[in-house]
Amino acid sequence: MSEYVVLLPGNETTWQATSQEERAAVYARHIAFSEALAARGHTVTGGAELTLARAGKVVRRGPDGAAVVTDGPYAESAEQLSGFYSVQSEDLDDLLQVCAILAGADDGVEVRGTVDHSGGAA
C-alpha cells in the first residue's frame, strides 16, 4: 500500500472573511471526503488544519551554523498551505477522484506520494 499526502492550499485572508455558514459547508465537505475515503478502501493515517502562516516560524542556519529563527510565512504568496491529510491507498486514480470532493473550481488540492526510504518510492 502506498502513502500519499493530500495538500490543501488556501487563501488565509479569504478564509478569515468567510461566514460561519460558509465554514460549516467547507467542514461538511471534509466529512464527506473522509467518509468517501473509508467507503472506497483508502485509509487516513493523519492530517490537520494548520494555523495561519503568519503564526509560523522559519528556521535557517546562519553562517556560524547556529539556528536563525524568523517569523513566517516561509514564502510570500496569495495561497498558503492550510492543511493536509496523509492517506494510504492502493488505487491512486480512485484517490484522485475522491479528492475532487475537496477541490473547487478555482482551488484545487495537490496529491503527492511519500518516499519510502526502506527501498523505493511511493
CATH architecture, range 2-121: 2-Layer Sandwich (3.30)
The residue-averaged pLDDT of 21-42 equals 96
DSSP-derived letter for residue 31 is: H
More confident residue, 73 or 102: 102
Residue-range domain boundaries for the chain: 2-121
Cell 460561519: give the residue: 20
pTM score, two decimals?
Answer: 0.85
Instruction: Tell the residue number behind the cell numbers 502506498, with chain if given.
Output: 2
Cell match 491529510: residue? 85
Residues 61-80: tens digit of each pLDDT: 999 999 999 987 777 777 88
Q: What pLDDT digit, counting tens, does each position of 75-101 carry?
A: 777 788 999 999 999 999 999 999 999
Nearest Cα neighbor of 83 from 33, 34, 44, 48 is: 48
